[in-house]
Chain A
Amino acid sequence: MAGLFSILGFTRQSMQVQQAAMETVKNNIANVNTPGYSRLRARITENAPIREGKLIFGQGASVSEVQALRDRFIEIRLAQEQKKSGYYSDLSTGLKQLEDVFNESGQNGLQKTLQDFFGSLLELSSDPSNISLRQGVLLKAQTLTTNLRTKALTVQELKEQANGRVDFLAGKANDLLNEIDDLNRQLVQTEAGSIDSGALRDKRNVALQELGQLMEVSSYEAPNGSLIVTTGKGRVLVSETGERTISTSISGTTGTSRVLVDGTDITDELLSSESGSIGAQLDFQTNILADVSTRLDLLAQDLRDRFNAVHQQGFDLLGNAGQAFFVPATGTISATTIQVGITDPKRIAAAGVGSTPGTSAGPGDNTNIRALYDFSQQLPSTIPIPAALTGMTYSDYLLQLTTDIASQTSNANDSLETQTALILQLQRQRESVSGVSLDEEATDMIRYQKAFEASSRFFSVINQLTEEVLRLAG
């Protein structure tokens, strides 16, 4: 049986246990608003009892562990969903910018300028020798080529912006890799004595989640507590020995960003919806912007090739054979280089061939301008039609382009909305496990306070008993 002095020792230990538990309450309350914080719990366990003869005496309690409460499964799900969220967030932002460029509801839509141009041809067909109508055709053609050029250049600017953003995001990813590596080192040292270093793990988790928003990463914990981070395809980014560096470069052929890990190109591995913000930027510029540029260039080239061919079959107001309407007349042409090659309205070849081959049918003839206008209704096939344009007019072609952009933007917005809702659910699930409830902390605080008060009262009673014994002995 324990003596009075021994009981005093147990009581002191009991008060220390409640005090330690109170410490966790203090820390939890302090971090109630800290993102990624996992609440602490003091694990109070009963000390092993001692046996004296037939009797067993308890030895009080002690704090065996301070636990950070977290659900690893939820943390992993959250990281997975956040990389999709990062992807759709960046993709949605980029597509909105692209959609603004191709906004057809305004006055500067490409469809409208194209239709205005063909409309001016129809007007001219009703009075082919009218100079002001001819001037109108040139003006509308210039508006069309300027609009086409402006849009193509804006798409190029968006591509360059995406390059800058990839570079910025790669820098941010490097900072996070560096932070995870630092935290790995601190954590290995701290947990060398099997102590759960909750605060460092929380920080590392937050860094990992932020990294997950930037690119697809996988992670697992090494036996010594280090977090090993790899790309989605298993390329190591952070190991027990340190982190790798992510760098970017611009492709000489396409002008788009390439992402490298220690010099190895991993761009193609990042082109998926799992690849966070960096993947979104790469996808945006490599697939979406490049596709839009190609389609605009095809339109410019086909206009030049086939419109010019028909124009050159006709005769102008002065009786000369038609010249190239769009220039450059030969060689490479793109949406950024196409221009109207005629400045004199009389040079528009509105008339067809007269009764004598090689001569004009006359200034009042509208045969050729009608043939040119027919481009807007149905595409003639004297020159092979590119596969992308087969069976559709230029207006249909542009409608398909703008509808594709609108649909992609809509899909990205919807996916972002879904991801945001999903992440909210996961965050709430995480909060229900790891978050701090002030009501709960207040209850714990009262619980530990009362236990402390009881222990101290007991200490006081034992102290009085000890004094009485000493007085009797004295």
Chain B
Amino acid sequence: MRITEYGTSLFHLRQLDTNRTREDQISQQLSSGRRFLADSEDPNSAAEAQVIRRQAGYLALYRENIVRARSTMSYADSVLDSATQLLYKAQQIANQAAGSFLPSSQLKRSAEAILNIRKELVELANSSLQGVYIFAGAQNNIKPYIFIDPADPTNTNPDPLTSYVAFRGDNNDREIQVASSLDIQDTMSGIQIFATDIYPSPVPSPPPAPANPEDVFETLRQMAEAIRQGNIQSGTPSFTQMAPLLESARARISESRGALGARLNLIQQVEFDLQDQELQLQTRLSSVEDVDIAKSVTELSLNQAANQATLYAQGNVMKSTLFDFIG
């Protein structure tokens, strides 16, 4: 094959161009830390990276949902704890009143104390977090528990000590997604906790007494009434009738707390799992996207050596011709 100056220069230029391109590519890889900057450099890996990033994105969202659910559930748990304490206190007052031969004035004070506890319990049942009533079911933008004057349902300022407590929420439990195939209930309706039925709307006149015999507010009201009247063993209502109902109300709230606690534990576990999954995804993403620095640096050195050799060879090959030696 004949060798010409132009043919040689074409070859060397191509070699230099290839070396420079590769050098530039490695340099960009090293400065960015990524194995490929454009998807076309490795379409399969780029697609895999997209899928991993998408999965990681969902995991981050699930974790945000967990944080939000935990906040709501922890708040509900602390409210129910207070409610349990209140009912325990009510039980103590009632037991003390029933077990001692107290004068009627003292019984009245005990009854008032129980009705005050009832009022506090209504406040707790109306607890809200960031404007959302946590025991109202799906109707969470309105206060779920209100007092209704049995004599006049239109009375906007009824006496809390004599009124019925009506529930205006619903039994709609909300489920939120906390993992790819796991939904968890993050709300709890007052129906389950306080055994309150949904009150008819609009309220009829005269308003009916709460229908559920285990309604905690009605139990407290009737217990107060029994104590006030001194009905311990007999009469309607009587302490003997109401004491088991009060106990079961406290037990129900404790059970609700237990259910909440179990769910809190579950989401804690799910969060750990999500963290593990995120770590695995990050590792996978790193293996797909990240540059192998040691390998790239070595390759860069080799490439630079090849480039210098090409330059040296080109400089020497093209430096002299026969014309240089003709006198």
- Least CB separation from A362: chain B residue: B138
Q: Is the CB of A119 within 8 A of B58?
A: yes
What count of chain B residues pass the 8 Å CB interface test? 55
Residues of B near A105 (CB, < 8 A) are: 34, 37, 39, 46, 49
Cβ-neighbour of B177 out of A96, A373, A405, A432 (below 8 A): A373
Inter-chain contacts of A175 with B (CB < 8 A)? none
Contact B130 A364, beta carbon cutoff 8 Å: no
CA A102 to CA B46, docked complex, whole Å: 12
A435 in contact with B4 (CB, 8 Å): yes
A51 to chain B, nearest CB (A): 41
Additional 12 contacts, C-beta under 8 A, given A105-B46, A361-B170, A403-B39: A32-B5, A127-B72, A363-B138, A364-B187, A366-B174, A424-B11, A427-B7, A427-B10, A431-B7, A436-B4, A437-B2, A438-B5
Q: How far is the CA of A443 from the CA of B6 in the complex (A)?
A: 18
Which residues of chain B are within 8 angstroms of A399 by Cβ–Cβ distance? 47, 50-51, 54
Q: With an 8 A cutoff between CB atoms, is A433 at the interface?
A: yes
Question: What residue in chain A is nearest B42 (Cβ atoms)?
Answer: A410
Contacting residues, chain A, for B51 (C-beta < 8 A) = 399
17 A–B contacts from the bound complex (CB under 8 Å) = A99-B38, A115-B58, A126-B186, A127-B68, A354-B138, A362-B138, A363-B141, A365-B172, A395-B54, A399-B51, A402-B46, A407-B40, A431-B4, A432-B1, A435-B7, A437-B5, A438-B321
A191 to B322, CA, bound (A): 35
Q: Output the residue of A127, A351, A413, A435 with the most chain B CB within 10 A.
A: A127
Kindly provide the distance from the CB of A224 to the nearest chain B CB, expressed in whole angstroms. Answer: 32
Is A144 interfacial (CB-CB < 8 Å)?
A: no
Whether the pair A104, B139 counts as a contact (CB closer than 8 A) is no
Nearest chain-B residue to A355 (Cβ)? B170
Nearest-Cβ distance from residue B69 to partner chain A, whole angstroms: 6
User: With A123-B64, A409-B40, A431-B6 given, is the CB distance from A439 to B170 under 8 Å?
Assistant: no
A206 beta carbon closer than 8 Å to chain B:
no
Q: List residues of chain B with CB within 8 A of the CB of A420.
A: 14
Contact B176 A364 (CB under 8 A): no
In the complex, whether B43 has a CB less than 8 A from a CB of chain A is yes
Task: For the complex formed, measure the closest distance between the CB of A85 and the CB atoms of chain B, giving whole angstroms.
Answer: 13
Q: Which residue of A lies closest to B4 (CB)?
A: A435
By the criterion CB–CB under 8 Å, are B138 and A361 in contact? yes
Q: Bits for B46-66, please: 1 = Cβ < 8 Å to A, else 0.
A: 110111011001100110110
Question: Is residue A339 within 8 Å, beta carbon to beta carbon, of the partner chain?
Answer: no
Do residues A126 and B136 form an inter-chain contact, with CB atoms below 8 A? Answer: no
User: CB of A256 within 8 A of chain B?
Assistant: no
Which of A119, A364, A428 meets B141, CB within 8 Å?
A364
Residues of A within 8 A of B131 (CB): 129
**CA of A102 to CA of B54 in the docked complex: distance in angstroms?**
16
B61:A119 contact, CB within 8 angstroms: yes
Residues of B within 8 A of A104 (CB): 39, 46, 50
Contact with B along A441-455 (1 / 0, CB 8 A): 011011000000000
B39 in contact with A103 (CB, 8 Å):
yes
Q: Is B294 in the interface zone, CB < 8 Å from A?
A: no
Q: Which of B2, B40, B176 contacts A433 (CB 8 A)?
A: B2
Shortest Cβ gap from B266 to chain A (Å): 16
In the complex, A111 has a CB within 8 A of chain B: yes
Q: Is B190 an interface residue (CB 8 A)?
A: no
Min C-beta distance of A363 to chain B, whole Å: 5
Complex-state Cα separation, A406 to B167, whole angstroms = 60
User: CA separation between A127 and B130, bound complex, in Å?
Assistant: 10
Q: Which of B255-303 contact A (CB under 8 A)?
A: none
The yes or no answer to B140 lying at the interface (CB within 8 A) is yes
In the bound assembly, the distance between CA atoms of A435 and B11 in angstroms comes to: 14
A99 near B68 with CB under 8 A, answer no
Whether the Cβ atoms of A365 and B2 lie closer than 8 Å is no
Q: Which residues of A contact B43 (CB under 8 A)?
A: 403, 406-407, 410
B47 lies within 8 A of A442 (CB): no
- CB of A95 closer than 8 Å to a CB of B: yes
Interface flags, A97-125, vs B, CB<8A=1, else 0 = 00110111100000110010001001101
Which residue of the partner chain B has the closest CB to A376?
B58
Q: Is A439 touching B322 in the complex (CB atoms < 8 A)? A: yes
Query: What is the CA–CA distance of A33 and B6 in the complex, to the nearest angstrom?
Result: 7
| Binary interface encoding of chain B residues 67-80 relative to chain A, with 1 for a CB under 8 A from any of its CBs, else 0 | 01100100000000
